Structure 1
Amino acid sequence: MAWNWEGPTWPNFTYDATALEPLEAEFLLRSGQFIGAFKHVSQDEQQNLKIDLISDEALKTSEIEGEILNRDSVQSSLRYQFGLGEQQAGVPAAERGIAQMMVDLYLNFSTPLTDETMFAWYSMLLSGDRTIRTIAAYRTHPEPMQVVSGPIAQRKVHFEAPPSGNMTKEMAGFIQWFNDTRPEGPHPLPAITRSAIAHLYFVSIHPFEDGNGRIARALAEKSLAQNLGQPTLIALAYTIQRKRKAYYEALEHNNKEMEITDWLLYFANTVLEAQDNTNRRVDFYIAKTKFYERLRGQFNERQEKAIARMFKEGVDGFRGGLSAENYISITKAARATATRDLQDLVAKGALTRTGELRHTRYHLRLDENG
């Protein structure tokens, strides 16, 4: 047997459930912490945070597959899809499509999975790709569906999926499993266990000509949301992309056998790290609200622009901190003016300063007693 789907017990994966129990409990605990913290974000900032988190997922799930999209176009499409703004002119099909899929995932997480759900996601993702032969259907080409790397003369096959002729049967089985294992189904599974299996099960079938990884991650998030009873806003793709090599290694390590405890543990720890990343962002937005409450009306126009730009960089901020050169570039201020502005921001407790001379850097001061 070369691949998991060729074995006699396919698709009945086996694993050590007890090894997952503490991770499942931690996931539920952190989910509660997120829900509680999110309620402390203002209504307007909740919308902004939602757009930021979903756009990051859209960008990163595409980047994992080597596709670099435009953030502004994705966010514009998300705002339009959520009814929060007008559609920006000239948004490329790829950005519009991933935004549509992410909004559908957010709004319709609770609905049962169907062929039509995945056909719709696939059509959204690949609507601008003229090389795809089959849209809104599973693959039908006779040649093997393989995941490969390396030059043609030294091609390495990392995985080969079931033949195209098996897709109707394989996907019928997958969809039934997915719906049967949701919380109200006849065979419910714990949140992370179900999400991890859904991801591996789906990519093992690889039912589409393209987009399988992005759809697998969307299914993993749909699964988690169903188990929680609400959208997760979890930074899953964002976290996977940061350690993309480990992600592909974990998939390859677990595509040959039916015992998948290693995959479940990898995925569970990735989900917990994703929750940490999400909760850090919620804390950042709460701190941002308090920052403006504390200092509102104390900045000149240049300072307002620079502070807004720093917040736009997100929880990680400017790499190494904001320099005077950054400030001049953002505000178009003269150097002497920039120096006075930055000194004033430090004096008011808006920024902290580190380093000296050309190594001087500034950071947002987000503690409440700043």
Structure 2
Amino acid sequence: MRNAKWVWQRSDWPNFQYEEVDFTETCGGFTAVASRLAGRIEALAEIPRQEITVDLMVSEAIKTMEIEGERLDRESVVNSIAALMGFLPGKGLAWDKKAEGVARLMTDVRQHWNQPLTHNLLFAWQQAVVPESYLYNINRGAYRDDEMQIVSGGVGHYKVHYEAPPPDRVEVEMDHFIDWYNATQGRLPGPVRAGVAHLWFEVIHPFDDGNGRVGRAIADQALSQDLGFPTLGCLATAIEQNKKAYYQELANASRGDGNIQPWLDFFTKMAVDAQQIALKQVDFILDKARFFGRFSGKLNARQQKTFDVVFRRGPD
């Protein structure tokens, strides 16, 4: 379709155009920082390693929800992730279903990073992050059966930012996407494959709700499969810090001519940033442990509480 408004309406869809060689340096940087991060964590004793793993997963869980405008109680997410990972005995699942759901998503992506992508796996991820609601009729654990538009503005004055493929095309589109995703494992650099997969999934927008969270989980899985171990990079944090540019690049690629070079340039650099953010977080946690070790028994209750509040804000 020569005058297609959306990229999925083009006659050559989904034939994305990009030059893989242009991302060689960025992808090499991703692998180097990710390996340094993994080495830093592996060198720790078991308990500190578990604590840092939980801390990074919790930060990502909170950020992936913040991108969607959802705020979670940190302690609820900590309890759920620690329980699901089998760490920190005594912790239990949170009463907050949203916290428990995103914890299940983060844990499943980490524990089953090398399994093939399937419709049922995507259904489980979406069902986890979209709690049952008696106020809205949302398909959970299934693809949407209605039209999907992303709009802003009031009734009669709304603006359509994006329109996804019609519902009768969703399953076929997802078949094609999943086949490509599984076939390209080990054949494309991780950040490139993750960037294409994330964009492709978001263009299809197959669910009534939860597309962003599931799409970021797919990208995390693709990066893990490239590394050969589950990534602890903070992709959602990197996206949240560049949210305006992220949505603009997605919009440009969704309306474009199939050339996704600018999108991949943005996304692959963000994948590197995600590893660097995690590395900075690990260094911060280790510095915090050293600080409290140095002043153990020397702080009164008020001082201890004050430092707890300060350190809870993170590296920034």
TM-score (norm 1): 0.79
Q: Which amino acid aligns with 1:248?
A: Y
Report SS of the residue matched to 2:275.
helix
Q: Does 2:279 correspond to 1:279?
A: yes
Q: Does 2:127 correspond to 1:136?
A: no
Q: Does 2:64 correspond to 1:61?
A: yes
Q: How big is the shift at 1:154?
A: 2.5
Contact 1:93 1:128 in 2 (8 A): no
Residue aligning to 1:291: 291
Contact 2:93 2:100 in 1 (8 A): no
Residue aligning to 2:160: 157
Whole-Å separation in 2 of the counterparts to 1:89 and 1:178: 32
Q: Which amino acid aligns with 1:284?
A: F
Q: How big is the shift at 1:90?
A: 6.1
Whole-Å separation in 2 of the counterparts to 1:132 and 1:176: 30
TM-score (norm 2): 0.92
Deviations 1:237-268 (A, max 9, x none): 11211221111111001102211000001101
Point out the more displaced range, 109-118 or 268-277: 268-277
Bigger-Rg structure (1/2): 1
Whole-Å separation in 1 of the counterparts to 2:38 and 2:47: 16
Q: Does 2:218 correspond to 1:219?
A: yes
Whole-Å separation in 1 of the counterparts to 2:168 and 2:149: 15
Q: Does 2:80 correspond to 1:91?
A: no
Whole-Å separation in 2 of the counterparts to 1:145 and 1:229: 36
Q: Which amino acid aligns with 1:176?
A: D
Identity %, equivalent residues: 36
Whole-Å separation in 1 of the counterparts to 2:230 and 2:148: 32
Over 3 Å counting, the alpha-carbon distance change for 1:3 and 1:180 in structure 2 is: same
Contact 2:123 2:141 in 1 (8 A): yes
In the alignment, structure 1 segments of 5+ residues that lack a partner are 317-370
How do residues 291-310 of structure 1 correspond to structure 2 at under 5 angstroms? 291-310=291-310
Q: Which has the higher contact order (CA 8 A, sep 6+)?
A: 2
Deviations 1:76-110 (A, max 9, x none): 11111112344557612111111111111110111
State the Cα RMSD in Å.
1.8
Report SS of the residue matched to 2:248.
helix
Q: Does 2:206 correspond to 1:202?
A: no
Residue aligning to 1:111: 115
Q: Which amino acid aligns with 1:277?
A: I
Q: How big is the shift at 1:297?
A: 4.1
Residue aligning to 1:315: 315
Residue aligning to 1:77: 80
Over 3 Å counting, the alpha-carbon distance change for 1:303 and 1:87 in structure 2 is: closer
Residue aligning to 2:149: 146
Residue aligning to 1:48: 51
Point out the more displaced range, 290-299 or 219-228: 290-299
Whole-Å separation in 2 of the counterparts to 1:260 and 1:73: 39
Whole-Å separation in 2 of the counterparts to 1:90 and 1:248: 31
Q: How big is the shift at 1:301?
A: 4.5
Q: How big is the shift at 1:74?
A: 1.2
In the alignment, structure 2 segments of 5+ residues that lack a partner are none
Q: Which amino acid aligns with 2:310?
A: M
